[in-house]
Amino acid sequence: MALFEHKEFDNHEQVVFCHDKVTGLKAIIAVHDTTMGPALGGTRMWSYANSEEALTDVLRLSRGMTYKSALAGLPLGGGKAVIIGDAKKDKSEAFFKAYGRFVNALGGKYITAEDVNIRTSDIAIVATETAYVAGTEGKAGDPSPHTAEGTYLGLKAAAKHAFGSEDLSGLRIAVQGLGAVGYDFAEYCAKEGAKLVVCDVNQEAVDRAVAELGAEAVSIDAIYDADVDVYAPCALGATINDETLKRIKAKVIAGSANNQLATPAHDKILKDMGILYAPDYVINAGGVIHVCSEAANFSFEETAARVKAIYNTLDKIFTRATAENRPTGEIADEMAREILAKKLAEKTA
């Protein structure tokens, strides 16, 4: 399994393969880039088919964190960790303590947090072995409200570019997923007079949106056929794919879900279809801003200002994408790389 020749290798600074003989822990920690600061990114636990699949995931996700934090203006680099295992069977206190020691051995170069299949209670055990954790219980708390606010503001920036006004009143918005982020986001939109079309596998959340926000409920499959101006994916990844794009009528895609595009090629496909796409890692950065507020001791006002700046960042991305007739995701990546290059030049001057 070659690392430097790996297709997802992108000049990562450090990749650590961790194995604890006693607990059977197998993890990979990838520090992609620390130009802007320590590499912050969650730990994901997944039953990867093999270590090659885990390596691919961690290399790609850690690079994504570098870009996300750079564009969010945070003093953080990008990193990520994956634990290879079954979250239902393999977890134990000793397991997470062993993992904490591996994180600690990096001396603060990598700061971990929760991610898929890792709960705050797991991170609390990790925190008994290392101070390099964020998003712990009783500290910054739930990032979802900030993610929802940032997504709402990002949608307003998209509406300005696509429809000529950032006012959401009268727009029809399909919200897929009414969880911690999706519900608050839907509420912001409804308050501004948008008409909501919603779906969720959780019927209770749907009933609540119908009762409280005047939303129209559709089945989880019918959301793709909804006659709407905006499609807001707030549940799953990879919902923008060849099949759904035959059905989606929206002219704007702006939602909180991670990894919305099934493949990188869908960035250009959306542009060619005349759909304005708010790059997922830019619009959903409220969460990492919130978590960073704990690690970097931001004041409440500072955190709020950074969440509000998501509007401006997307505004710049959309303006440049239009001027250069290029896909928005490509522009976002390029802008992140420019921020990193500028900082690196300052550091080495």
Ligand X SMILES: NC(=O)c1ccc[n+]([C@@H]2O[C@H](COP(=O)([O-])OP(=O)(O)OC[C@H]3O[C@@H](n4cnc5c(N)ncnc54)[C@H](O)[C@@H]3O)[C@@H](O)[C@H]2O)c1
Active-site annotation, residues: 80
Q: In terms of Cα–Cα distance, which of 141, 89, 115 is closest to 30? A: 115
Q: Report how many residues bind ligand X under the rule CB under 6 A.
A: 24
Of 144, 244, 293, 313, the residue at the interface with ligand X (CB under 6 A) is 144
Residue positions counted in the chain:
349
Q: Does 15 bind ligand X (CB under 6 A)?
A: no
Residues 156-195 that bind ligand X (CB under 6 A): 176-182
Residue with smaller CB distance to ligand X, 171 or 181: 181
CB of 116 to ligand X, least distance (A): 8
Q: Does 262 bind ligand X (CB under 6 A)?
A: no
Residue that is written with structure tokens 């020691």 in the block: 101
Dist CA 160 CA 328 (whole Å): 15
Of 236, 273, 341, 344, the residue at the interface with ligand X (CB under 6 A) is 236
Q: What mask, x for binding ligand X by CB under 6 A, covers residues 84 to 123? A: ----------------------------------------
Residues contributing to the annotated binding site: 177-182
Question: Binding segment for ligand X among 58-66, 79-87, 159-167, 252-260 (CB under 6 A)?
Answer: 252-260
Q: Does 258 bind ligand X (CB under 6 A)?
A: yes
Q: In the chain, what are the helix, strand and coil shares in percent, each to the nearest 5?
A: 45, 15, 40
Q: Does 256 bind ligand X (CB under 6 A)?
A: yes
DSSP letters for 116-175: TT--HHHHHHHTTT-S-B-S-TTTT---HHHHHHHHHHHHHHHHHHHHS----TT-EEEE
Q: Which residue's CB atom is positioned nearest to ligand X?
A: 179
Question: Binding segment for ligand X among 1-9, 87-95, 124-132, 250-258 (CB under 6 A)?
Answer: 250-258
- Determine the 3-state secondary structure of 125 from DSSP: helix
Beta carbons within 8 Å of 50's beta carbon, 6+ residues apart: none
Q: Does 273 bind ligand X (CB under 6 A)?
A: no
Stated as kind and residue range, the H or E segment containing 305 is helix 300-324
Q: Does 257 bind ligand X (CB under 6 A)?
A: yes
The region, left, alpha or beta by phi > 0 then psi within -120 to 50, assigned to residue 325 is left
Dist CA 244 CA 275 (whole Å): 13
Provide the binding-site residues for ligand X, judged by CB under 6 A. Answer: 143-144, 147, 176-182, 199-202, 205, 220, 234-236, 256-258, 284, 287
